């Protein structure tokens, strides 16, 4: 197995961002040598300290599938030589870089003035206030490389207008826990497929099974592509609609639901490190 997991509302509590309840299940995965891959709308600057705290050394997927950061230990010369090097990683990117997004938002402002506040227009303090992130965490969230999420203030009708304008530019609109996210040439599903192929070659396992856990609408793309999908119960919204045979919906919320699902899957699996 490889575990692909959303962070906010999934591995991390929607309200206080704690992962405490998931720790025993995470430990069990670590012991079984099952890689845990964050797949999130968060930035690299937000994910790195978390990976460090949780001792995750696997690749991770940033900003809603925009790019995959592959640490050196997961690289071979053969597999990675074509990928650009950034700090200690090789990077496979799908989405346009941040300048594209900042320019797009300026244009959207003209048609939908007042309907949203883009993250790059917020101070760290403002972002901290609206999300209950700590101030340093909000600073890391503002270090965006591939996306500029929108705090939505407008009507549903204006959201439809946003979708229509964006569609003409090949940009897709999806909802996260608190923000509206814009995607182009990427989603969590495409990133999962690319990385699972990469890892099955790297680990030399031909039938590497993927488990995708998430709470939001922006997780559906990866849940559709995964072998096993887990929808984590959210205190903020209903389960997003998802049709799939191998779907498990948790009883518990956030990281408790995460542990519930992982425990259930591992207990019912004949071979833990499949």
Bridge partners for 230 per DSSP: 213, 248
Q: For residues 24-53, which are near Mg ion according to CB under 5 A?
A: 40-41
> Applying CB under 5 A, does 131 fall inside the site for Mg ion?
no
**Number of residues counted as binding Mg ion (CB under 5 A):** 8
Nearest CB to Mg ion, comparing residues 75 and 210: 210
**Which is it for strands 180-183 and 116-118: parallel, antiparallel or unpaired?**
unpaired
> Applying CB under 5 A, does 216 fall inside the site for Mg ion?
yes
Tell me which of Mg ion, ligand 2M8, none is bound by residue 178, counting a contact when its beta carbon lies within the kind-specific cut-off of 5 to 8 angstroms: ligand 2M8
- 168: CB partners within 8 A, 6+ apart: none
Residues 113 and 121: their CA atoms lie apart, in Å, by 13
Pick one of 2, 4, 9, 50: the residue that binds Mg ion (CB under 5 A). Answer: 9
Residues 167 and 215: their CA atoms lie apart, in Å, by 25
Tell me which of Mg ion, ligand 2M8, none is bound by residue 43, counting a contact when its beta carbon lies within the kind-specific cut-off of 5 to 8 angstroms: ligand 2M8
User: Three-state DSSP class for 89?
Assistant: strand
Q: Which residue's CB atom is positioned nearest to Mg ion? A: 9
Q: Which residue's CB atom is positioned nearest to ligand 2M8? A: 176
Other beta carbons within 10 Å of 38: 25
> Applying CB under 5 A, does 145 fall inside the site for Mg ion?
no
Assigned token pair, 212: 């995708």
Residues engaged in binding ligand 2M8 (CB under 6 A): 8, 41-43, 46, 131, 133, 141, 149, 176-179, 216
């Amino acid at each position: 197995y490889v575990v692909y997991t959303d962070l906010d509302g999934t591995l991390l509590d929607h309200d206080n961002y704690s992962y405490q309840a998931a720790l025993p299940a995470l430990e069990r995965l670590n012991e079984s040598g099952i890689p845990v891959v964050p797949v999130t709308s968060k930035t690299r600057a937000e994910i790195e300290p978390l990976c460090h705290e949780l001792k995750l050394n696997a690749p991770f997927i940033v900003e809603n599938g925009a790019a995959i950061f592959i640490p050196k230990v997961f690289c071979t010369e053969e597999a990675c030589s074509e990928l650009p090097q950034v700090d200690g990683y090789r990077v496979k990117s799908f989405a346009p870089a941040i300048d594209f997004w900042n320019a797009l938002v300026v244009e959207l402002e003209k048609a939908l003035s007042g309907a949203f506040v883009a993250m790059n227009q917020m101070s760290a303090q403002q972002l901290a206030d609206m999300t209950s992130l700590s101030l340093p965490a909000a600073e890391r969230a503002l270090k965006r490389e591939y996306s500029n999420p929108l705090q939505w203030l407008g009507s549903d009708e204006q959201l439809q207008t946003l979708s229509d304008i964006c569609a003409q530019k090949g940009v897709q609109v999806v909802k996260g826990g608190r923000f509206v996210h814009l995607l182009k040439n990427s989603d969590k599903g495409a990133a999962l497929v690319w990385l699972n192929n990469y890892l099955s070659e790297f680990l030399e396992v031909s039938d590497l099974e993927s488990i995708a856990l998430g709470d939001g609408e922006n997780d559906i793309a990866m849940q559709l592509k995964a072998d096993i999908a887990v929808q984590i119960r959210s205190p903020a919204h209903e389960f997003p609609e998802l049709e799939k045979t191998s779907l498990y919906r948790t009883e518990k919320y956030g990281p408790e639901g995460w542990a519930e699902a992982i425990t259930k899957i591992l207990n019912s699996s004949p071979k833990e490190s499949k």
